[in-house]
Each structure stands twice: as structure tokens, then as C-alpha cells.
């Protein structure tokens, strides 16, 4: 098979030795080309070009952001996505059952290629950007922004950095005085009336799969049972009270079954589409309606409106055997 190995050399777990070992293993039985990303969005261009030229698979050695970029370049094509964990968290790789060790994961990938272990799965989309596992709106995205401002530290202090950024953002870098957005879900009737809605949210996560992320070795289940073929689940906070955040985190570290129970948490599942709209500040300034958002751990900036949708069977993914 023809394989393109896309490497993010800046990813926290990617070392020169790892790159060499993985490249030799993949090249033993396949035609392999290795390319390194050098800018934001580069993996999307490389993956799309490979799909256009008919390559069998694009294999990504990098973090979730690079995997997301490559996936966006492969949507709607027959070129498969292979994932080798190279970042600090590697949510998607771990969700599909890949080893956390990139060299062991290479062995799984080779077995997948030999046994035809590929599945065509659905993805979520935020405006024009697809996501594999989640979209974060509001506080969640602001935390990712703080982490990316200290991206050099991710190589040495991945999970502690996220925890520290969450605390710092809650204390100093996010306006907790008012809700930032509303969420509306269109109903099935021709009139398009809202089937359900959230009038004021501080923090929302749209999930294409579960878990939401990992804290060390432990998964955080915000949408237990959610898979890429089931539509999207959404969990949103009506407040940023510390008791709500910590209580939800505690439940998510367990089964996640009771995450949506408290009245300050809004949760739905099996969503096909939704609209997120920014709320102006008390003075009515339209600029105050902008809210931050991120997809698959990649901060995308501020927006005042976001169309969220689910798209079934749009990308082939190489799954580890037996996962």
C-alpha cells in the first residue's frame, strides 16, 4: 500500500528515534513517504493532496490537533486515516483503542493494514471545520487558548499544564459575570421551531464520541455511550460555579451517567444540528457577543455564531484489531 506518514516534529511525544523506528517499520511492507508539518493547516493540505493522488492511507504521528487537520483533508475521500499518538493527551487515538506508546501503536496499525480493519465513521462539524471527538465552546476553549500560549511547556508538563491553565482561566481570564452564548436545536417539524434550547451558557461541549478527554490515565465521560455513528451529544453549563465544575468532573471521572442531572447542567444527545449564538453584554455592544471555540483541542479563535452539525460516514479510519 501507499502510505503518507505526516509527522508533527513539535508534538510532545515525537522524538527523532521514534520517527526513524516508525518509518522503518511502515516502509518494510509498504511504499512510504514521510513529510513534516511546518505551519498551521499544513496537515490538511498534505492529506488532501494525498487523497487526490489516490494514496491508500495518511498516517499521522502527532497530537490531536494534527490528527484533526489531516482528517479535514480526507473527509469524503477513500483514503484512510491512521493515527499514532505523538501528543500529550492523544484523545482520538486512545478512544479508538490505540496504544499510548507510538511504537506499539505502529504494530497495531500494521495489523490493521494487513487485516483490513478500517471503518467509515461520522464526524461533527463547526461551520466548515470538522471534528473527530469534540467541539468546545466558551470556558473550555478559553482554557485551550491559555495552554497554546504556553505550547513549549506541553512537551514537559502536558496534563499538569492543562489543570493549571483551567484554574488560571477560571480565576483571571474568563468573564464569569454573564452567560456568553445560547444554543438552539431545530425540531423535526417543517416550521423549524426549536425542539429544545439553552438560553444562557458559559461552557458547552459537543461530543462526537466519548470520552471528552483524559486526565492522566483516566477518561472523563461527558457523553457515555456516544459514538461517531450516533449523532452528537451536548453538555452545557448554565453557570461556572466551582461546585458545578468540580461536581461534574467527579461524575465524569466515574461512569458519567449522572453528568446531566443537576439543574445547572443542560444535556441532550443524538443531535443532528444546532446553532450557537453569542449573547451581547449588558451595554448591548455587539462585540461582546463573541465567544471562543476549539475543535479536537485546537483553538480556533472567537466567533459570534456557530452552526454545528453531524455528518455520518464521511471518513475511513484504521482501527486497531479487536477494538
Q: pLDDT tens digits, residue range 24-77?
A: 999 999 999 999 999 999 999 999 999 999 999 999 999 999 999 999 999 999
Q: State yes or no: pLDDT of 192 exceeds 50.
A: no
CATH class of segment(s) 131-312:
mainly beta
pLDDT at 189: 46
Q: Are the C-beta atoms of residues 70 and 47 closer than 8 Å to each other?
A: yes
At residue 80, the pLDDT reads 98
Q: Where in the chain is the domain with CATH 2.60.200.40?
A: 131-312
CATH number of 2-116: 3.40.50.10330
Peptide linkage before 211 cis (omega within 30 of 0): yes
Alpha-carbon distance 66 to 60, whole Å?
Answer: 7
Say what the pLDDT of residue 193 is. 46
- Residue 276 has phi, psi (to 5 degrees) of -110, 125
pTM for the structure as a whole: 0.91
pLDDT tens readout for residues 195-240 = 578 989 999 999 999 999 998 889 999 999 999 999 999 999 999 9
Under 8 Å between Cβ of 133 and 209 = yes
Q: Where in the chain is the domain with CATH 3.40.50.10330?
A: 2-116
- pLDDT tens by residue, 72-113: 999 999 999 999 999 989 999 999 999 999 999 999 999 999
Query: Distance of alpha carbon 29 from its chain centroid, rounded?
Result: 31
Amino acid at each position: 500500500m501507499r502510505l503518507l506518514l505526516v509527522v508533527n516534529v513539535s508534538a510532545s511525544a515525537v522524538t527523532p528515534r521514534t520517527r526513524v523506528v516508525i518509518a522503518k517499520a511502515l516502509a518494510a511492507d509498504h511504499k512510504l513517504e514521510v513529510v513534516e508539518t511546518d505551519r498551521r493547516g499544513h496537515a490538511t493540505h498534505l492529506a488532501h493532496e494525498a487523497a487526490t493522488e489516490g494514496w491508500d492511507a495518511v498516517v499521522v504521528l502527532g497530537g490531536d490537533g494534527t490528527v484533526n487537520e489531516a482528517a479535514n483533508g480526507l473527509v469524503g475521500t477513500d483514503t484512510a486515516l491512521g493515527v499514532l499518538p505523538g501528543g500529550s493527551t492523544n484523545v482520538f487515538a486512545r478512544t479508538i483503542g490505540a496504544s499510548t506508546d507510538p511504537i506499539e501503536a505502529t504494530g497495531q496499525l500494521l495489523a490493521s493494514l494487513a487485516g483490513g480493519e478500517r471503518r467509515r465513521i461520522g464526524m461533527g462539524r463547526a461551520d466548515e471545520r470538522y471534528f473527530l471527538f469534540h467541539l468546545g465552546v466558551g470556558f473550555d476553549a478559553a482554557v485551550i487558548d491559555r495552554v497554546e500560549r504556553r505550547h513549549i511547556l506541553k512537551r514537559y508538563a502536558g496534563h499538569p499544564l492543562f489543570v493549571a491553565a483551567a484554574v488560571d482561566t477560571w480565576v483571571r481570564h474568563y468573564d464569569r459575570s454573564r452567560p456568553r452564548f445560547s444554543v438552539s436545536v431545530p425540531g423535526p417539524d417543517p416550521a423549524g421551531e426549536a425542539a429544545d434550547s439553552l438560553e444562557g451558557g458559559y461552557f458547552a461541549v459537543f461530543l462526537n464520541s466519548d470520552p471528552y478527554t483524559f486526565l492522566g490515565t483516566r477518561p472523563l465521560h461527558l457523553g457515555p455511550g456516544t459514538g461517531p455513528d450516533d449523532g452528537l451529544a451536548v453538555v452545557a453549563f448554565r453557570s461556572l460555579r466551582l461546585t458545578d465544575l468540580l461536581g461534574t468532573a467527579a461524575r465524569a471521572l466515574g461512569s458519567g451517567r449522572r453528568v446531566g442531572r443537576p439543574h445547572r447542567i443542560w444535556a441532550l444527545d443524538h443531535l443532528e444540528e444546532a446553532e450557537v449564538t453569542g449573547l451581547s453584554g449588558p451595554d448591548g455592544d455587539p462585540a461582546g457577543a463573541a465567544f471562543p471555540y476549539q475543535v479536537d483541542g485546537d483553538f480556533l479563535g472567537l466567533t459570534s455564531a456557530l452552526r454545528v452539525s453531524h455528518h455520518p460516514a464521511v471518513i475511513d479510519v484504521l482501527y486497531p484489531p479487536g477494538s
